[in-house]
């Protein structure tokens, strides 16, 4: 899970490509049509949100380990 702070009391988190926030308008804004490949897709989405909306990343869980690089790497997950 990645947590981004957008204002002193407004945060949002992304996990598994799904955003959550106590602010429904912010959650709606964070729905994105971003498409690409990233080694840590949630971090890529968080960085994109910070780039578009400002704010800062305040928490990053460790990247999940790839159980078997030969059977589809986490680095090759598609972000929609």
Name the nearest CA neighbour of 34 among 22, 25, 43, 24: 43
Residue 25 gets the label, from left (phi > 0), alpha (psi -120 to 50) or beta, of alpha
Return all residues near 25 (Cβ < 8 A) that are at least 6 apart. Answer: none
The kind and range of the H/E element at 14 are: strand 10-15
In the 8-state DSSP scheme, what is residue 17?
T
Average pLDDT, the chain: 80
Domain membership flag for residue 28: yes
Domain membership flag for residue 78: no
Domain membership flag for residue 42: yes
Digit-coded pLDDT (tens) for 22-40: 998 888 888 866 666 778 8
- Residue 10's domain comprises 2-63
Domain membership flag for residue 11: yes
In the predicted model, what is the mean pLDDT of residues 35-56? 86
Domain membership flag for residue 79: no
Per the structure, how many domains does the chain have? Answer: 1
In the predicted model, what is the mean pLDDT of residues 53-69? 80
């Amino acid at each position: 899970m990645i947590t981004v702070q957008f204002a002193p009391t407004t945060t949002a988190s992304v996990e598994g490509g799904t955003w959550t926030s106590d602010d429904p308008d912010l959650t709606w804004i964070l729905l994105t049509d971003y498409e690409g490949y990233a080694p840590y897709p949630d971090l890529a989405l968080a960085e994109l949100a910070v780039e578009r909306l400002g704010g800062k990343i305040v928490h990053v869980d460790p990247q999940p380990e790839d159980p078997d690089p030969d059977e589809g790497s986490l680095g090759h997950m598609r972000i929609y």
